[in-house]
Amino acid sequence: MKLGITLAMRGAAAACWRVRRLAAVWLSLSVWAAASQPPAHAQVPPAPVVVARVVEAAYVLAEESFVGTVEPTRRALVGSAVDGRVAELLVREGDHVSAGKPLARLQTTAIEIQIAAARAVQAEAEQKLAELEAGTRPEELAEAEARRAGAEARLRYAKARAERTRQLRQRNSASIEQEQEDAAAAEEAEAAWKQADATYRLLLAGPRAEQIEQARAAAAAAAEEVKRLADQLAKHTIISPFEGYVVQELTEEGQWIRQGELVAEVVEISQLDVVVSVPEHFIPRLSLGQPAQVELEAWPGEPLRGVIQALVPQADQASRSFPVKIRVSNSVDPQRGLPRLMPGMFARAALAVAERHHARLIPKDALVLGGPQPHLFVVTARRGAPARVRQVTVDVGLAVGELIELRSELKAGTQIVVEGNERLRDGQEVEIVRQIEVQPPAAPQQGTADAAGRGSAAKADSPADGTPAEKQQGVAARAKPPASARRAQQRREGEVER
């Protein structure tokens, strides 16, 4: 029985100890919770924000961005016009070449021998022509005249002798054979005289006009043969058709190449074409000569100005997009001595594809994304009361540089938050530290449509807002990250808060 009483007393003591332990833990938790809560009189300080006002633009030219590739304006696969063995390859990939600069030379021994022989034939033909054009030499004419005179004398003698023999035959003092022989001699002398006379007259008249023309034609043919061979010799030197850069070598020294085989590839990049694919529903809004802005991955933050050079009238059947060529000028980087733009670079081109009249614009930074629909915070302030923000869901339209079209009912001049809006809540109290003056895009003048649609948010301190140090900073306010980076940051912050 004593044992039972002892056990009961021990159980009661253990129960009391557990109750005291639970009470101590509960008391500790209560004290910690009370200490962690702020006093009833403490308040959340106002959130510092930067604000801007909704502006209205009389004319807005909206742009759309398209990706593309930089391509040369001219590309030439330079080949050989003749068969031959490469004696010299004068350029390498990356070399700058001027128009007419030799790229390679072929062996020319055989063609040089042919040219020497052709020049000898030409010289012979030209001398023959000169001989005919000069006419008969005086000495030759005198010789012909003397021969004619001699033939005439022999003719007179032969005729006289034949006459005497005829008379002697009549008196039977000469035989008939002697008479016939002298008569034949007289006829022969007469024929000789006629020949000598004709020769004299030919020499006196000189060469015939037809002979001179034939000699002239032969000389011209010989000269053209020399030109043909000289042209063949010139084709043994392969030259660059225009100024540019060698981007590919297609032969080597000692290699035998046939007519038409390639030697090198040359591209002209003093001006370049940025070729972008534009969907078909944008094509009716584009025209030749329309200005465009081009940005390259290789040179971020350095936009280039260009114009639409060509709208290729053939769409890709898969994407239903048309190639559009934007012509931009190239320049040489003075530090590297190389062109800044090179074929194959990735580029983005902004083209004006839409316009609005009397549009209300806000800075893109005013939008808070992440929900089903973008919203912004409107600053409301009453006299004697702190400024607070009101969350407003909005619809947006065309993007114009750093601005975007507002399609909601907010009026021009409404004050909205553009910085510090990532963690704001509806109705939260705010403190305006700076105001940004938003400049609406100017209406384009005749011939300067490229000036339209490039609205900017010029950051200047409001005279009544901010501290003197902030006013001194002025336009040198910190640069904001791109919209994509800010949206990612907002999503990360939302996940942390959740």
Residue 11 CB neighbour total at 10 angstroms: 10
Q: Please report whether residue 87 resides in a domain.
A: no
Q: What letters, b where the CB count within 10 A reaches 16 and e where it falls short, cover 266-297?
A: bbbbeebbbbbbbeeebbeebeeebbbbbbbe
- For 183-239, the pLDDT digits (tens) are 999 999 999 999 999 988 888 888 888 989 999 999 999 999 999 999 999 999 999
Closest CA to 310 of 296, 294, 293, 322: 322
Tell me, yes or no, whether 161 lies in a domain. yes
User: Are 397 and 37 spatial neighbours (Cβ–Cβ below 8 Å)?
Assistant: no
Find, among 370, 456, 452, 465, the residue nearest to 415 by Cα.
465
Asked whether residue 215 falls in the same domain as residue 276, the answer is no
Using the 3D structure, point to which of 228, 249, 283 is the last residue of a domain: 228
Of 173, 194, 228, the residue that ends a domain is 228
64 and 156 share one domain: no
Report the residue count for the chain.
498
Question: How far, in Å, CA of 265 to CA of 270, rounded?
Answer: 16
CB 60 within 8 A of CB 401: no
The residues of the chain scoring below 50 in pLDDT are 1, 3, 38, 40-42, 446-498
Is the residue at 262 inside a domain?
no
DSSP three-state, residue 305? strand
Residue 286's identity, in one-letter code, is L
pLDDT score for 137: 86
Q: Identity (one letter) of the amino acid at 57?
A: A
Strands (E), 330-374: 332-333, 338-339, 346-363
Predicted pLDDT of residue 352: 85
Residue 66 CA to residue 349 CA, distance in Å, equals: 5
Q: Are strands 84-89 and 102-106 parallel, antiparallel or unpaired?
A: antiparallel
Q: Which of 81, 148, 63 is nearest to 355 (CA)?
A: 63
β-bridge pairing 321-329 and 299-311 = antiparallel
Q: Do 305 and 405 reside in the same domain of the chain?
A: yes
| One domain, residues 58 and 165 | no
Q: What does the block give as tokens for 257?
A: 């190449």
The pLDDT of residue 321: 94
Reported as type and span, the H/E element at residue 380 is strand 375-380
- Check residue 165 and report its DSSP letter: H
389 and 492 in a single domain? The answer is yes
Contact 59, 355 (CB under 8 A): yes
pLDDT at residue 28, as a whole number: 61
Which pLDDT belongs to residue 276?
96
Q: Do 54 and 413 form a contact (C-beta atoms < 8 A)?
A: yes
Is residue 15 situated within a structural domain? no
What CATH number is given to the structural domain containing 395? Answer: 2.40.30.170
- Residue 53 falls within a domain, yes or no? yes
Looking at the fold, whether 366 and 281 belong to one and the same domain comes out as yes
- Identify the DSSP state of 245: E
- Is residue 357 located within the same domain as residue 465? yes
The total of structural domains in the chain comes to: 2
User: Are 218 and 276 in the same domain?
Assistant: no
- What pLDDT, on a 0 to 100 scale, did the predictor assign at position 468? 34
- Indicate the helix (H) or strand (E) that contains 18: helix 2-36
Q: Which domain holds residue 164?
A: 120-228
Whether the CA torsion 21, 23, 27, 30 is positive or negative: it is positive
318 shares its domain with 454: yes
Residues 339 and 269 sit within 8 Å (Cβ to Cβ):
yes
Asked if residue 146 is part of any domain, the answer here is yes
CA distances from 161 to 150, 174, 239 (A): 17, 12, 85
Is the distance from CB of 325 to CB of 274 less than 8 angstroms?
A: yes
d(CA 356, CA 452): 11
- Note the Cα 465 to chain centre separation in Å: 50
- 390 with 321, same domain? yes
446 exposure class (CB count in 10 Å sphere: 0-12, 13-18, 19+): exposed
257 occurs within a structural domain = no
User: Is there a contact between 442 and 429 (Cβ–Cβ < 8 Å)?
Assistant: no
Token pair of 349 as six digits: 């081109």
Confidence at residue 495, expressed as pLDDT on a 0 to 100 scale:
40
Q: State the sign of the Cα–Cα–Cα–Cα dihedral 151, 152, 153, 157.
A: positive
pLDDT (0 to 100) of residue 85: 95
Q: What backbone torsions phi and psi does residue 139 show, to the nearest 5 degrees?
A: -65, -40
Give domain status of residue 99, yes or no: no
Reduced to 3 states (helix: H, G, I; strand: E, B; else coil), residue 154 is: helix
Domain's final residue, options 228, 263, 287: 228
Cα 311 to Cα 299: distance, rounded to the nearest angstrom: 26
Please indicate, yes or no, whether residues 201 and 284 belong to a single structural domain of this protein: no
Tell whether the torsion through CA atoms of 234, 238, 241 and 244 is positive or negative: negative
pLDDT of residue 358: 79
Q: Do 379 and 51 form a contact (C-beta atoms < 8 A)?
A: yes
How is residue 321 written in tokens?
Answer: 């997009």
- If asked whether residues 489 and 396 sit together in one domain, one would say yes
DSSP SS3 for 78: strand
